[in-house]
Amino acid sequence: MDTRSELQATVNAMVQPGKGLLAADESGPTIAKRFKTIGLESSEENRRAYRNLLLTTPGLGEFVSGVILYEETLGQKADDGTPFPQLSARNGIVPGIKVDLGKIPLALAPGDEITEGLDGLAKRFVDYKRQGARFAKWRAVYNITASLPSRLAIEANADSLARYAAISQEAGIVPIVEPEVLMDGDHTIGRSAEVTEAVLHEVFNALHRHRVVLEHILLKPSMVLAGAEHAQQSSVADIAAHTVRILKRTVPSAVPGIVFLSGGQSPEEATANLDAMNRLGPLPWNLSFSYGRALQEPPLQAWRGQASNVKDAQAALLKRARLNSAAALGKYDAAQEKN
């Protein structure tokens, strides 16, 4: 299979109506924070056991088409000895890999950040592909204040995202492009919309410059909403209207799928907001989810590191996956939360 056909086959498997992605790619420090909430040590075996719980959930492939793994997880095995990427593929879930190396301060731009990881990326892709990864993810972050992000940060992060995407496609791996406008702060929803529009506009300019094939990427943006510390929190209707308006202004219809990050929203909020957007259709792209905490928080709290709680935790994950699947079709009903 040539590279273009390979990329198209992966996109087709990932972008299916009513299916989204499970983001299980927490870095070492992030998973340690999550485990701390249930009083569990972040040992390699505990991390493996938790990812095993997620990936062996019966029926998950009905609602989830892909899973983003961390480098450690890509090389780990399930309880039965099956490598996690092969286990996922067997269950109809495409395995992917987070490839950026995290964020650092952007030089000469106080308050702005840039993502590392381009050096040696092409060589890393050879190993990731050999282990079974078919798509990748790179996250750029943008802090919002009255003056941030700077023009420099918007341009520098867009260029890194585009370079990563080009290297990824050349390796036959579908890139997920993730420009996250953070919800930290006291900014208005209008300020969030302004920054998101500028960020996405620059990202697609950079993708075009780097000759990235838009039909073979997925976009993973943040939703447009007021900062978490703003006095007036955004309504579901406002979030949907602002987000879809900005996407229509900036994202070419050639992009097959947009999979939102939850970005600190509660599981219920992330589901309701996705549903509201899908009720504004028809839209030129498939709008779905790529949630981490908004899918994992309920199963993590149910599990609490106890083998006896695995089935309850898997039921909690399957419920959230099912509700988000309904939201991706614009068919979510808040009353379903009680079932």
DSSP string, 176-235: EEEEEE---SS--HHHHHHHHHHHHHHHHHHHHHTT--GGG-EE-PPP----TT-SSPPP
Q: Residue 6's pLDDT is what?
A: 97
Q: Residue 134's pLDDT is what?
A: 98
Q: Residue 49's pLDDT is what?
A: 98
Q: Residue 84's pLDDT is what?
A: 98
Task: State the catalytic residue, choosing from 6, 26, 113, 178.
Answer: 178
| Whole-Å CA distances, 223 to 101, 181, 276 | 24, 8, 12
Q: Residue 281's pLDDT is what?
A: 82
pLDDT, one tens digit per residue, over 178-189 is 999 999 999 999
Task: State the catalytic residue, choosing from 220, 269, 297, 319.
Answer: 220
Is residue 298 reached through a cis peptide bond, with omega within 30 degrees of 0 on the bond before it?
Answer: no
Looking at the structure of the chain, the number of domains it has is 1
CA 168 to chain centre: 17
Q: Indicate the SS3 state at residue 272.
A: helix
Q: Residue 315's pLDDT is what?
A: 98
Q: Is 180 a catalytic residue?
A: no
pLDDT, one tens digit per residue, over 140-174 is 999 999 999 999 999 999 999 999 999 999 999 99
Q: Residue 190's pLDDT is what?
A: 98
Q: pTM of the entire structure?
A: 0.98
Q: Residue 29's pLDDT is what?
A: 94
Q: Residue 1's pLDDT is what?
A: 79
CA gap 30, 325 in Å, rounded: 26
- Residues of the chain short of pLDDT 50, as ranges, are none
Domain that holds residue 319: 3-338
β-partners of residue 179 are 140
Q: Is 129 a catalytic residue?
A: no
CA gap 132, 74 in Å, rounded: 8
Domain at 330, CATH number? 3.20.20.70
Rounded to 5 degrees, what angle do the CA atoms 284, 280, 232 make? 120
